[in-house]
Chains A and B, each alone.
Chain A
Amino acid sequence: MKRISTSLAILLAGLGMAASAGAQQITGAGATFPAPVYAKWGEAAKAAIGIELNYQAIGSGGGQNQIFNRTVDFGASDAPVDAPKLVEQKLLQFPAVMGAVVPIVNIPGVEANQLKLTGELLADIYLGKITKWNDDKIVEMNRDLKLPNLAIAPAYRADGSGTTYVFTSYLSAVNADWKSKVGASTSVKWAAGTGAKGNDGVAATVKQVKGGIGYVENAYATQNKLATTQLRNKAGSFVTPTIAAFKAAAENADWSADPNFAVSLIDTQGATSWPIVSATFILLPTDPKDPARSALVRKFFDWSYKNGSDIAAGLEYVPLPAGVQDAVRAKWSSLYKG
């Protein structure tokens, strides 16, 4: 008994110390896709401006639920929330950072970024229309490669995910058949292939199965040295997935098109643009219960915009263009006082 009370006292003292030494806390919940960069930003911001971020990566749907119920200071979502819902729930939506989705393949004899694909071909593969790697439509685009007579084994995210939302948005944009039969969502009715859990599950499945193809976040592909492919963009040129190509896509988007920043970065114009790029969003109440905490959230993202670019780039995310950052700041000062 005595030991218990002693340890309890120590624990309480510890908690008290943590609270007093701890910086001002803000809480957020939602998308898993940007979670690594939010974590790094949180660490850096705690040291620099004394704001400690407590972010729970529970998925975009969960993040929306949490901010609708106001159980966190901000929500985070990969898919933008539509305008009427934002008004109804009294939320401001702004982008935090961008990322890209890349196809990965496992074809014997084909190295990274050698294979050339188009969105139409990707959709046909995932629709189960193209089933062999030496299909005429693929060979036509890859005369320089020796493609084997091997079954294509498509892998997709079995768990609902923002990555799937971005990927299926792209397929819907470039393939009418896909748009009418499948559509875009965090999970869809797949016509072919096998599902795996998480980016790592998809990557492992593709690695294990000869003839495999999958899609993952770029950061994941780079860190694990997966064999990515080239894709044909809207301008008709084949691009390899590089940070420069992602940035080009962001710069070629018309950010002023939507007041809630729900701008599609999918298949944008520009000869060097990577076609599957997306922003991830923050949802902040316009009628905060605690204005001071809401101000801290804005201060945190303001700091991250200014100082977090290197951290984001180091993790293979794409920082927002400066013009967009300024637009977000302008929105803040028009909505909130002080």
Chain B
Amino acid sequence: MSSTTASVTKVRTASAGISGDVIFAAAAKAAGIFVLVLLGAIIVSLLIGGMPAFIAFGPGFLTNADWDPVQQIFGGAVPIYGTLLTSVLALAMAVPLAFGIAFWLTELAPVWLRRPVGTAIELLAAVPSIIYGMWGFFMIVPFMSEYFQPIVIDWLGDIPLIGGLFQGPPFGTGVFTASLLLAVMIIPFVAATMRDVFMTVPAVFKESAYGLGCTTWEVMRAIVLPYTRVSVVGGIMLGLGRALGETMAVTFVIGNTNRIATSLFGPGNTIASLVALEFPESPAGSLKLSALLALGFILFVISFIVLAVSRMLLKPRAN
């Protein structure tokens, strides 16, 4: 290759580079800003749409448990409570199990098994939620209604104080079943995150601890968990984020009732589920539609807070 052709090529790339850089930078910037604008537009349109409901009911919208489309009274307390309760219960069930999975995969499982099991968990995370919903409705609900709930109601229903949590007709659906299903759905997320952060612990730390005579559990408790604590909480928050917004699967099994149930087996409702169910029959401009949009706004705010917290906690450690 002669030197002249080489220099010509060089010049051409350089000039293409200058204008190309500008165009590309502008395009990338536009894409970034577009996301922000889109996010802002969603929040604003939800807020504007929900305004009539916020004005009509004031702050009482958050605490009023009455949802009466005939009287045009709409309160958000039941779906908000249901959303938070099912999500928290789901976490309570999912986190210990997810921790067990991650612990086993990183410390105990034979090396040849770690990859297939890890992949299987990631696959579970990809199953569409409607599939979980159908599975829940046709497998879990009958099981709950036939076996689990009647037995638990018989055993625990008469105990003072906590008995009230386990009473009512054994529909099979309800808050408890919804939480169980949500737990199954978020386990893959939480377990996969935990496994990944457990693997970031430098081997030298763990080996030193083993060298001092620590058991596997002691290494986990004294080295791995303290090292990854913040990221683990972040992973749990990611799971919580998914549980909060889950719609279809919950709709199938929660019982869709706008009453606050005292029993865990009683039916309830969540924001996402209520919005999905009531939307088609809400005429434009009606107070009901506005109340649904207001609920959407509240869900947005809750999810935003949860995700922001998880973002902050998941930030890589400074050192």
Contact = CB atoms under 8 A, between A and B. Distances in A.
Interface of A: 58-62, 64-65, 68-69, 151, 153, 158-161, 182-190, 193-197, 201, 204-205, 208-209, 211
B267 interface: yes
Counting from the closest, the 6 A-B pairs by CB-CB distance are A160-B281, A195-B256, A59-B280, A158-B256, A183-B70, A189-B68
Contact of B70 (A185, A193, A208): A185
B71 interface: yes
Given A182-B70, A187-B69, A188-B68, A209 B171 contact: yes
A205 B172 CA distance: 9
A68 B283 CA distance: 10
7 contacts: A68-B284, A69-B284, A153-B169, A159-B278, A188-B70, A189-B258, A190-B258
A285 to B, nearest CB: 17
B189 interface: no
A153 B251 contact: no
A197 B252 contact: yes
Contacts of A65: 283-284
A321 to B, nearest CB: 28
Given A189-B69, A189-B70, A209-B145, A196 B256 contact: yes
Contacts of B142: 208
Given A195-B256, A195-B267, A209-B145, A186 B71 contact: no
Interface string B70-95: 11000000000000000000000000
A189 B67 CA distance: 6
Contacts of A185: 69-70
Contacts of B67: 189
Given A61-B280, A209-B171, 8 more contacts: A59-B281, A158-B277, A159-B280, A189-B258, A197-B252, A201-B252, A208-B141, A209-B145
Contact of B282 (A151, A160, A195): A160
B7 to A, nearest CB: 33
A205 B174 CA distance: 12
B257 interface: yes
B173 interface: yes
Interface string B168-188: 011111100000000000000
Interface residues of B, number: 32
The majority secondary structure among interface residues of chain B is: loop
A238 to B, nearest CB: 27
B185 to A, nearest CB: 18
Nearest to A58: B280
Contacts of B252: 197, 201
Contact of A197 (B66, B70, B174, B251): B251
B277 A197 contact: yes
B166 interface: no
A211 B252 CA distance: 20
B253 to A, nearest CB: 10
A283 to B, nearest CB: 13
B50 interface: no
A184 B137 CA distance: 29
A62 B289 CA distance: 11
Contacts of B68: 188-189
A194 B137 contact: no
Interface string B45-63: 0000000000000000000
Interface string B264-281: 000101000000011011
A7 B142 CA distance: 49
A196 B133 CA distance: 12
Contacts of B66: 189
Contacts of B137: 204
Contacts of B284: 65, 68-69
Contacts of B239: none
Interface in B275-304: 277-278, 280-284
Contact of A159 (B141, B257, B277, B283): B277
A160 B256 contact: no
Given A58-B280, A208-B172, A188 B69 contact: yes
Contact of A194 (B138, B171, B282): B171
Contacts of A153: 169, 171
B239 to A, nearest CB: 25
Nearest to A164: B281
Interface in B232-267: 251-252, 255-258, 267
Given A194-B173, A194-B267, A196-B256, A160 B145 contact: no
Given A186-B69, A189-B66, A189-B68, A211 B281 contact: no
Contacts of B171: 153, 194, 205, 209
A190 B257 contact: yes
A158 B278 CA distance: 8
Contacts of A158: 251, 256-257, 277
Contacts of A60: 281
Contacts of B277: 158-160, 187, 195, 197
A187 B251 contact: no
Contacts of B69: 160, 185-189
Interface centre among A153, A182, A189, A193 (most CB of B within 10 A): A189
Contacts of B71: 183, 189
B257 A195 contact: yes
Contacts of A182: 70
Given A153-B169, A208-B172, A194 B255 contact: yes
A160 B288 CA distance: 11
